[in-house]
Amino acid sequence: MIIAIDGPAASGKGTLAKRLAAHYGRPHLDTGLLYRGVARVLLDRGEPLDDPALAAAVAGALDMGALDESRLRGREMGEAASLVSAFPAVRGALLDLQRRFAGQPGGAVLDGRDIGSVVCPDAHAKLFVTASPEERAARRHRELASRGDPTPYEAVLADIRRRDERDSTRSTAPLVVPPGGRVLDTTALDPDGAFAAAVALVDASLAGS
C-alpha cells in the first residue's frame, strides 16, 4: 500500500504523513529531506546552488541513511532545497531512490511535491494537502520562533509565496494536484482535525469510493 502526499510548503503534509505512516504501520519518507540533503552538501563544500551539474552529481551520490535531519531544517535550508529541486537532473537522480523506498514490501508513505504525479502515479491513495499562504506562513513563523529564529512574519510569507511560484511553474514535475488526488485544505483545521480528515480520505481511496 503506497500513500502519496503532496502539497506546498508548510501545509502540514509532513506532520500528516508521519501520523498516517504510524496509523497504517508503514515506513515514511519525507522526500523534501533529499533535496535539502543535496543543498546541505553543496553549502558545506562552499559550492554554488545554481549549478545544475554539480547539484545532480551530489544527488546521484546521496546516501539517504547519512542525512542529518537536525542540519536540514530551517528557513535557509528550505529556500536552498527549493532552488536545487528545480533542476531536472537533480529530480531525475533522486527519482529511483524514492521509487525504491515506495516499492519495498508492504509499501510506504511518502510526502513531497510530486509524489502522486511523478514518483508514484499508481499510489493506492493520493492526498494533496494545502492551506492559505497566510496560514502556512503563520505556522512556519511559529515553528521558526520556537527554534529561536527571529525572522519576521512578513518575510516568511514572502518566502512562502516565492517558493509556491517556483514549485508550481518549474518545467519538471511542477506542484499540481495529481490525477485522482483528493484535496485536503487544512487552513481551518487543527492537527487532530486534519489527521482525522486525512484518514477518512485515505480510507475512502483504499475502498475505491
Residue list for the binding site: 7-15
Distance CA 30, CA 112 (A): 7
Q: Are strands 2-6 and 108-112 parallel, antiparallel or unpaired?
A: parallel
Q: CB-side exposure of 186: number of CA atoms within 13 Å?
A: 27
Binding residue positions for ATP:
7-15
